[in-house]
Structure 1
Amino acid sequence: MEDISHPKAVVCFPFVGDVLAGSHISALGLVKNLAPTGFQPLVVLHKPEGPLAELLTRENVTFVPAPMADTPERMSPRNGAAVASVLRLLPSLVRFLRNNKVAVVHTNDGRAHIIWGLAAKLAGAKLLWHHRGDPDSFGLRYLAPWLADSVVSVSKFASPRPGLLSAARKCTVIHSPFDLQMPDQFDRAACRERVLAELQCPPDTKLLGYVGSLVERKRPLLFVDTLAALSKHSPNEKFIGLLLGNSFNGLDELCRARAESLGVSDKIRLLGFRYPGEPWMAALDALLVPAVNEPLGRTLVEAMLLGTPVIATRSGGNPEAIRHNETGVLVEPEDPVAFARAIAELFQHPDRVTSMVGRARADAHERFGAARHVTSVTQTYDNLLRPQ
């Protein structure tokens, strides 16, 4: 590879840090594997005592506080107050980047893109805009084309659409990183036994899981609807639905109310965010992914690696990760009956499930390893820093 003279170039990873989501887990996988590549990570937290700080501390990842205290709670280029706040923060951010000799600013969410993007430009650093969300988001469509030096998207679905004003030409699809040795740490039978004991369920109870934040796009209410549809479709089947994740906008209470109205309140457990989540996912008889327009959910790939069957909507980036009836099952969005039928079909054909999860694990190993992710991202850094 051509020497581009960037000995230990500093890559800054700024995070607001007030919530913990899959994007942070993915970024952490990169940060922990970056040092041997010749790049030096600099992790910056706006909230150095929040949940992300706790995770980084547990994982022995060093971080520093952001050079300012105030951070807009809601970040939008169309919000005048938020834009004014960013402009006030600019001088301190630019000084911080220059003082730390930052070569690349690698942003991972909407607020970081906007808060740090202009500062990177003014400080003479390159901006890598890591997009993990809606391809029609305002920032990706109207800011990334002129603000970002490079865009990395987690899936083809999430990538910017081509057009006169578009970041499509500077976009690369790089799947999120996963620890391929992670499944070896979890014995599925032992995990299942522990979860059943904790939930005080009989050994023949099937465990169905929803793993992820309880937000509208991920459709936790559809998960509850699916439990009701399965109860009607297979009335003699013993099963419990587990919702694992932080709740936003009162969706946990809405799920409880929906379960009560459908007569399945005894079949759901809202367990909140659990870390690590892998032992819970390994215990599941099936992971359900009812999300619509999800770029590429981490839990879907983690389940594939763990040997947990996946049933997901034919929407967003899900079809990029799953081959229908080969490495998982895809059903039409917003259709709890289709989910229920697919679950019943899996329960009735255990030999087919065994073959499916074997193919899924092999496929995930080939496409989603952390080493491949790190190589692809550092190649992007190299391209950014290569003399024009």
Structure 2
Amino acid sequence: MTGPSPRTVLVAHPGAEMFGSDRMLLESVIGFVASGARVVVALPARGMLDVELRRAGAEVVILPMLVLRKVLLTPRGLPTLFRDMFRGLGATWRLVGRVRPDVVYVSTIIVPQWPLIARVRGIRAVSHVHEAEASGNRLVNALLYLPHLAAHRTLVNSRFSLDTITHALPQLARRSVVVYNGVASPQLTATPRRSIDGPLRVLYIGRLSPRKGPDVVIDAAARLAQSGQDVRVTLLGAVFAGYEWFEDDLRRRAADAGIDVVFAGFHQSIWPFLEDADVLTVPSRVDEPFGNTAVEGILARRPVIASDSSGLREAAGGYPTSILVPADDPEALAASLAQIIERWPEMRDAVDDSRRIALDRHAPEQYRSTVTGHVIDPT
């Protein structure tokens, strides 16, 4: 006798990069594959995520789909929105018919057609929310979340995200479950240097975007330099197409302040840069649903300074080597950098305790198991 056929999971994701939600999608897929399921992932384009998904054992299909970007929600973007909506409906409908999945897993809220089509075709759907802007317009938030009422269950990555959904669309919040991100790290991480000899090495990881606040890091470094402390800043990340002007502005700002700033660009592996750093900064100006980067800094045994807002409080709070500061406040960030220098021996001795806490909170294996349980084996 043969055993039961493996379950088939059809996954929809809006991009193929390797940023926060992309990495979480990969972790989810690794869990699905490990459970014995057949996993088919739909992406709108090829990219680094595509390669990693196939390496993990998933099938990858590239097809047109509606991906809600802010530019589409403007008068100029409406023609593209309607074009992508109709093209995406047809392509999604045909793929669902061809794959015949047992469950559809929808990664992020910006691919809204997938839970609707799954519901119409009588297929169980699970949406995983990685976005939350409590400061955004409540009506806009409600409209973005609304299609996911068609899902049978919704996973969210933080209490902050759940609170944001509750405010915008209480009906969706009542069927939502918090699953904290799993964050991988190397088994061995470098010990921080014994003393701050030479410049303080400050690292920023993320998009070079006004929302993320890399300019705040440069301004804070300038203030620290004015007090006599040598500082070197590394910006690990790149701009979105069309935001090249912001990188030019950052370069001018650094030159005007006389600060040594390395524009490292995007790198898939962040760990060599964390190893070379003394402190990681996460200076977001806007709401963050969680904050994987802050956890990665703690796992790398580096002090972390993060904005005291939104999901960053959950990601970076409660560690002996993390400091929360007001968002968009270069003075506060500079003062915290100076505090880390002053308390360096204490910080250095506490990084192992912080890492142990982060390993317990954000073990990838636990994340994979939890997501797989909700998607493939729901109770």
TM-score by length of 1: 0.83
**Letter aligned with residue 259 of structure 1:** A
Alignment of 1:250-261 (within 5 A): 250=244, 251-261=246-256
Aligned partners of 1:29 and 1:316: how far apart in 2? 23
Partner of 1:276: 269
CA RMSD, Structure 1 to Structure 2 (Å)? 2.9
Partner of 2:37: 39
Q: Does 1:53 align with 2:50?
A: yes
**Letter aligned with residue 64 of structure 1:** V
- Structure 1 residues 39 and 225: alpha-carbon distance in aligned structure 2, compared to 1, 3 A threshold: same
Aligned residues: 360
Which of these residues, 154, 172, 178, is aligned with residue 157 of structure 2? Answer: 154
Which of these residues, 316, 323, 327, is aligned with residue 329 of structure 1? Answer: 323
**CA deviation after TM superposition for structure 1 residue 333, in Å:** 1.3
Alignment of 1:303-318 (within 5 A): 303-318=297-312
Q: Does 1:246 align with 2:238?
A: yes
Q: Does 1:172 align with 2:169?
A: no
**CA deviation after TM superposition for structure 1 residue 15, in Å:** 2.8
Aligned partners of 1:167 and 1:135: how far apart in 2? 16
**Letter aligned with residue 216 of structure 1:** P
- 1:88-125 Cα offsets, whole Å, 9 max, x none, are 4323312211321212222223432x242322223322
Alignment of 1:112-127 (within 5 A): 112=111, 114-127=112-125
Q: What secondary structure is seen at the aligned counterpart in 2 of 1:229?
A: helix
Aligned partners of 1:325 and 1:70: how far apart in 2? 41
- The unaligned stretches of length 5 or more in structure 2 are none
Aligned partners of 1:185 and 1:326: how far apart in 2? 20
Q: What secondary structure is seen at the aligned counterpart in 1 of 2:159?
A: coil
**CA deviation after TM superposition for structure 1 residue 64, in Å:** 2.4
Contact 2:306 2:323 in 1 (8 A): yes
Partner of 1:187: 190
**Letter aligned with residue 321 of structure 1:** A
Contact 1:15 1:44 in 2 (8 A): yes
Q: What secondary structure is seen at the aligned counterpart in 2 of 1:183?
A: coil
Contact 1:154 1:175 in 2 (8 A): yes
Aligned partners of 2:66 and 2:39: how far apart in 1? 22
Aligned partners of 1:20 and 1:274: how far apart in 2? 9
Q: What secondary structure is seen at the aligned counterpart in 1 of 2:366?
A: helix
Contact 1:218 1:291 in 2 (8 A): yes
Contact 1:11 1:104 in 2 (8 A): yes
Aligned partners of 2:10 and 2:317: how far apart in 1? 36
- The unaligned stretches of length 5 or more in structure 1 are 193-201
- Structure 1 residues 184 and 204: alpha-carbon distance in aligned structure 2, compared to 1, 3 A threshold: farther
Aligned partners of 2:122 and 2:352: how far apart in 1? 48
**Letter aligned with residue 278 of structure 1:** W
Alignment of 1:66-215 (within 5 A): 66=62, 68-69=63-64, 74=69, 80-81=78-79, 82-112=81-111, 114-136=112-134, 141-142=142-143, 143-144=146-147, 146-159=149-162, 160-162=165-167, 166-179=171-184, 182-188=185-191, 204-215=198-209
Aligned partners of 1:99 and 1:325: how far apart in 2? 48
Q: Does 1:291 align with 2:284?
A: yes
- Structure 1 residues 383 and 72: alpha-carbon distance in aligned structure 2, compared to 1, 3 A threshold: closer
TM-score by length of 2: 0.84
**Letter aligned with residue 338 of structure 1:** A
- 1:204-237 Cα offsets, whole Å, 9 max, x none, are 332100001112321111111111121123x1x2
Aligned partners of 1:223 and 1:322: how far apart in 2? 17
Aligned partners of 2:209 and 2:123: how far apart in 1? 34
- 1:327-350 Cα offsets, whole Å, 9 max, x none, are 411111111111111111111222
- Structure 1 residues 305 and 70: alpha-carbon distance in aligned structure 2, compared to 1, 3 A threshold: closer
Partner of 1:195: none
**CA deviation after TM superposition for structure 1 residue 187, in Å:** 3.3
Q: Does 1:15 align with 2:13?
A: yes
Aligned partners of 1:380 and 1:70: how far apart in 2? 25
Partner of 1:199: none
Aligned partners of 1:383 and 1:216: how far apart in 2? 41
Q: Does 1:65 align with 2:70?
A: no
Aligned partners of 1:163 and 1:44: how far apart in 2? 28
Aligned partners of 2:277 and 2:65: how far apart in 1? 42
Q: Percent identity?
A: 24
- 1:252-271 Cα offsets, whole Å, 9 max, x none, are 2121122233x13x421111
**CA deviation after TM superposition for structure 1 residue 11, in Å:** 1.6
